[in-house]
Amino acid sequence: MAHFSITRFLDSASSKSSVRYALYLSAITFFFALILIPPILGIFLKWNTMAETFQHPSLMSRATAAIYASFAIAIFVSIIDVVAGLPAAWLISRERYRWLNVLDTFVDIPFIIPTATLGYSLLLFWSSPEGISSLFGDSFVSPGWLLVILLHFAFSYPVVVRVMVGAILDYKREYEEAARTLGAPPFTADRTITLPILKRSLIASFTLAFARSISETGATMMVAGAFENGPIFIHNLKTAQELGYEGALVFVSFILIAISCLIFVTIRLLGPRLKMPIKKVWLSTERKLSGSKVTNLRNGLSLLVFFLLILIPSLFVALPAVYAIINGTLNEAVAGVGNWQGYWQSLILSYSVGAIATLINTIIGLPMAILIARKRLGTVFSSILDVLVNIPLIVPSIALGVSLSIFWKNFTTIPEMGLLILAHLAITYPYLVRSMAAAIERLNVSFEEASRTLGGRPFTVFRTIILPLTKYSLFSGAIMVFTRSISETGATLAVTELETAPVLLVKWVNILRGNIESPIPITSLDVGLGCGILIVFSFIILLVSRLLARRKGRY
Amino acid sequence: MPEVRVKNATKKYGKIIAVDNVSLQIHANEYFCLLGPSGCGKTTLLRLIAGLVEPDKGEIYIENRLVTSVPPEDRGIGFVFQEYALFPHMNVWDNVTYGPRVKAMGKKKSEKLGREMLEMVRLFERFDAFPSELSGGMMQRVALARALAAGSKLLLLDEPLGALDAKIRNDLRYELRKFVKDLELTGIHVTHDQAEAMAISDRIAVMRKGKILQVGTPQELYMHPQHIFVAHFIGESDFLEGYVSKITKKESIIELRGRLFVHTLDKTHEEGDKVVIAIRPEVLTVEKGKKRRENSILGHVEGFRFEGTNVRCQIELENGDSVVVVRPALMTEWFNIGEKVTVSFPAEKSFVFTYPERGLKRELALE
Ligand SMILES: Nc1ncnc2c1ncn2[C@@H]1O[C@H](COP(=O)(O)OP(=O)(O)OP(=O)(O)O)[C@@H](O)[C@H]1O
Ligand SMILES: [Mg+2]
């Protein structure tokens, strides 16, 4: 009964426009005060420390090299992602084999398992004696830039495939069929009709892959060796605390954030104007390219790339995890012996922070999603919000963390746990808002109008129409927030000494490789099992979300 | 001016048999309609001919060439989609010249074709407009120009007028036929609108549940429906259930409910058969009061509507059956609700069908 009257109260309150505007205003205030401003403004507070850094030429040259490496890798990897991911997406969405369903699920794996785990798995596969290196004697790919590229490819490729599969499935196939009936062979129809129509999604997938690569820290640390990109450089500085390090930190963070935003805005503005060469047709070549031989070759290559470069390396860590179960490490782990007590603590910390971030972001993100999707405050303002909301996505997370912690420590004595949550809030916010805004935009306005004409008040409409029809997007958005939070490493390292699960795993790997001293030794089985447990949890989340997404009435 | 032959074509989607062992021949230069209720498989049959779907069984010939496994781009067809499928990222000109371009016809020829076709549909001045800037009727004409510019002689149209206003639809349908005839094409037009099909076709195939029930000219289908569903779907029919009570040399006498007897010229049934008589509403006559006529039945007026050209009377017969009578408005008496009337019809203008196994209602249902 109490619940009933609360909803009644909210329903009738929502009829007042003052209440609605107060809600929207607070959503916007939260966004600016918690999500957008601190991660950017923080570095400006330490702006003058930069002057000192310019006195240290060696530090400066390291810094510029690291920044260059970050962008070079991000751009290179995103291009490769699109080149390799597009045929795979095509295969998944167009061919009609049963096993493609399985493949479709597997594609999400590198996306959903925490990147630190992924990093360790790749390290094992490519450069440890247990992995592919055993075939070659020596370490096949040693830690360094090549391994970083392989890693970034592995975790950003699923983004492209996921986005493109969705886009191809949504695409009205009639356009392509019309092209065929007009005489275009399949390849020509795809090149001149389908791809240009899907251009927006292609650009979006490229941007997302780019953002993932530019901001990843935890896994990169495991495979980087002596190589430094922006995030690694920042981390190394923080650990070493060399002379002038603070200025260098501010400098690199600033440049990374500034250039990322610049690239993002450029893509936003120029992307839609990008022209593809669709006028010219090379009939005989394109006929050959349409043939079944070429198509089979393309599909085969896509599968090969997927299994050899993505799936097997990503899941390779399962091997030591299984050993660990057999030889009794699992019992130690369950008993919490030695290092394992810390492991469980970090796991609890990770999942708690993830849950809190998910909850808060859902509450403050929903009104924002409605604002953006329904353009409640005018088209221009909504488009500006739409761009701003994406910024935490493209800002390198460690830079975001550095800035955020400078900002808050400057004003308050905030506990580390608070900083940790704030950092995770900022990083994961875009996932929920993007997913919900897109879902609400797809929802036909006439449903809402029908409900209004039948006497529904604004909140009633939200409760009875919008929410039920978009709940799967809400759910998948929440899952994304949660998994992203679980796998977050960079910002966590920047803002706190508290150890979340991926931070702990990074430390373990460093102990294992002799980079850090530790009273209690770590075995590779420990790390394998630690990763394995995280992966199992991720699998459960993936499975649940898949089951729910498969239900009917999905929006 | 190709001729099209479909031989025993079957296409299933899971359990649904969209096209069920269909055979069909469409003559060169013909304007042919595939007509049937929603979901009967018209689109699927058209897409089989176009090569956009492959049959599970059966063969398709275009101009005596077996094309069953030939991809759509090599079948020499033009296809107009229901929602037009104009490429949204190209303007009218690029849409219309797409066919010549991908067929590598050369710049000169492409431009000549594009120009001709756009002029023919009276849209040349809109050559640089994008599809989103055009009205429904214009989009339809661009879609047509695009299909024709590809130079094919077989034009396939899937509900080409379905998305248009009633008035424009009426104007454009005659235009479609004229283009096909002027350019000496073969046209296959899918529609669920029987009036549209009757107005423009040389011949019509009536489909239901993946099967073709009857093929014929509009007159044949109207005057001699061979299937009770055709009598129902083409034009309108009143249905009276009964039994064949007596067969004489000239006619068969049918007993309706309530011990009423009527005469028909039917020769296809035997005494005792359960049958349905179908009569066109405009064939029935209504007169006030009780009259003695051939095949007359008493009844009273249940409803009376003025519809412009015609008036429509709903009449409940004395045996409880109900019929609709349609008469030209200017040549008919007007009736009051409840008025006693006599309904009658000439024996030679009725059709007699075997009573359907599944019951009349279900046999006539559109789905
Ligand atoms: N791609 C498909 N997948 C599954 N079922 C299909 C597919 N295309 C058609 N069907 C089914 O096949 C049957 C025939 O469909 P079709 O589109 O040919 O009918 P139609 O006569 O064109 O109907 P409408 O007038 O509604 O366009 C329908 O039951 C439809 O649901
Ligand atoms: Mg159809």
Residue-wise pLDDT tens digits, A436-492: 998 888 887 888 777 777 777 888 888 888 888 888 788 888 888 998 899 898 899
Pocket flag, ligand 1, residue B35 (CB < 6 Å): no
Residue A429 pLDDT class (50, 70, 90 cuts): very high
Which amino acid is residue A478, in one-letter code? A
Given a cut of 50, whether residue B123 has pLDDT beyond it is yes
Q: Are residues B146 and B278 part of one domain?
A: no
Tell me which residue range forms the domain holding B214. Answer: 4-231
Res A3: pLDDT: 57
> Do B194 and B297 fall within a single domain?
no
> What's the per-residue H, E or C state across A456-493?
CCHHHHHHHHHHHHHHHHHHHHHHHHHHHHHHCCHHHH
Q: Is the pLDDT of residue A150 over 70?
A: yes
| C-alpha distance from A101 to closest chain B C-alpha (Å) | 18
Contact A177 B87 (CB under 8 A): no
The response to whether residue B42 sits with its C-beta less than 6 Å from ligand 1 reads yes
Stretch A243-271: mean pLDDT: 86
Portion of chain A with pLDDT greater than 90, in percent: 33
A277 — pLDDT class (breaks 50, 70, 90)? confident
A16 pLDDT exceeds 90? Answer: no
Longest dimension (CA), chain A: 75
Q: What is the mean pLDDT of residues B203-212?
A: 96
The pair of three-digit structure tokens given for residue A114, joined into one six-digit string: 């925490």
Whether the CB of B43 sits within 6 Å of ligand 1: yes
What per-residue confidence (pLDDT) applies to A4?
63
pLDDT at A142: 77
Q: Please report which confidence band the pLDDT of residue A45 belongs to, taking 50, 70 and 90 as the band edges.
A: confident
Same domain as B114, residue B95: yes
Edge-first strand order for the sheet with B57-62 is: B16-26, B4-13, B57-62, B65-66
Cβ atoms < 10 Å from Cβ of B227: 17
In this prediction, residue A138 carries a pLDDT of 66
Residue B283: the pLDDT is 93
In this structure, how many other beta carbons lie within 10 angstroms of the beta carbon of residue A235? 24
Asked if B193 and B301 sit in the same domain, the reply is no
Q: Which amino acid is at A282?
A: W
Give me the number of domains chain B comprises.
2
Is the domain of B186 the same as that of B278? no
User: What is the pLDDT averaged over residues A338-361?
Assistant: 92
Calculate the average pLDDT of chain A: 86
Residue B260 and residue B128 share a domain:
no
> In terms of domains, do B188 and B43 share one?
yes
Closest CA relative to residue A117, chosen from A483, A518, A520: A483
Q: pLDDT at position A253, please?
A: 87
* Domains assigned to chain A: 26-548 (1.10.3720.10)
- B213 and B243 together in one domain: no
Residue holding tokens 């450069």? Answer: A127
Q: How far apart are CA A87 and CA A164, in angstroms?
A: 10
Cross-chain residue pair A177–B72, CB shorter than 8 Å: yes
pLDDT at A226: 84
CA distances (Å), origin A413, targets A408, A418, A419: 8, 10, 10
Chain B interface, mutation test: which of A182, A195, A198, A202, most B Cβ atoms within 10 Å? A182
Residue A136 clears pLDDT 70, i.e. is over it:
no
The Cα angle at residue B297 between residues B292 and B302, in degrees rounded to 5: 125
Same domain? For B169 and B261 the reply is: no
- B81 and B161 in a single domain? The answer is yes
Closest ligand to B36 CA? 1
Helices (H), A171-291: 174-181, 186-189, 195-197, 199-215, 218-223, 230-240, 245-270, 283-290
The DSSP bridge pattern shows strands B203-208 and B211-216 to be: antiparallel
Binding-site residues on chain B for chain A (CB distance < 8 A): 50-52, 71-73, 75, 77-79, 81, 83, 85, 87-90, 94, 98-99, 101-104, 146-147, 150, 156
Residue B331, pLDDT score: 79
pLDDT of B144: 93
Distance CA A147, CA A116 (A): 14
Of the residues B198, B231, B264, which one is the last residue of a structural domain?
B231
pLDDT at A552 over 50: no
- Assign B134 to helix, strand or coil: coil
What's the order of all strands across the beta sheet hosting B296-306? B285-288, B340-344, B296-306, B310-317, B322-328
Closest ligand 1 atom to residue B44 Cα is 18
Residue A554's pLDDT band (cuts 50, 70, 90): very low
> What is the model's pLDDT at position A281?
81
Asked if A505 and A530 count as a contact pair (C-beta separation under 8 A), the reply is: yes
Instruction: Give residue A12's Cα distance to chain centre.
Output: 39
| Residue A354 and residue A224 in contact, taking contact as beta carbons nearer than 8 Å | no
Euclidean distance between CA atoms B237 and B32, whole angstroms: 24
Mean pLDDT along residues B202-209: 96
Domain-terminating residue out of B231, B256, B274 = B231
Residues B229-238: pLDDT tens digits? 999 999 999 9
Task: Evaluate if residue A388 carries a pLDDT over 70.
Answer: yes
**Among the listed ranges A98-112, A287-301, A390-404, which one has the minimum average pLDDT value?**
A98-112
d(CA A8, CA A268): 42
Residues B78-114 have pLDDT tens digits of: 999 988 999 999 999 999 999 998 888 888 999 999 9
Select the highest-mean-pLDDT range: A452-461, A470-479, A535-544, B352-361: B352-361
- Confidence at A363, pLDDT banded by 50, 70, 90: very high
Residue A279 pLDDT > 90: no
Which tens digits make up the pLDDT trace of A499-525?
A: 999 999 989 988 888 878 877 888 888
Q: Tell me, yes or no, whether B142 and B16 share the same domain.
A: yes
Query: Does ipTM come in above 0.90?
Result: no
When pLDDT is cut at 50, 70 and 90, the band that residue A550 belongs to is low
- The CA-CA-CA angle for residues B217, B219, B221, to 5°, reads 70
Assign residue B120 the CATH number of its domain. Answer: 3.40.50.300
What residue type is A53 in one-letter code? T
Q: Are residues B225 and B263 in the same domain?
A: no
- Check whether A553 has a pLDDT greater than 60: no
**CATH number of the domain enclosing B323:** 2.40.50.100
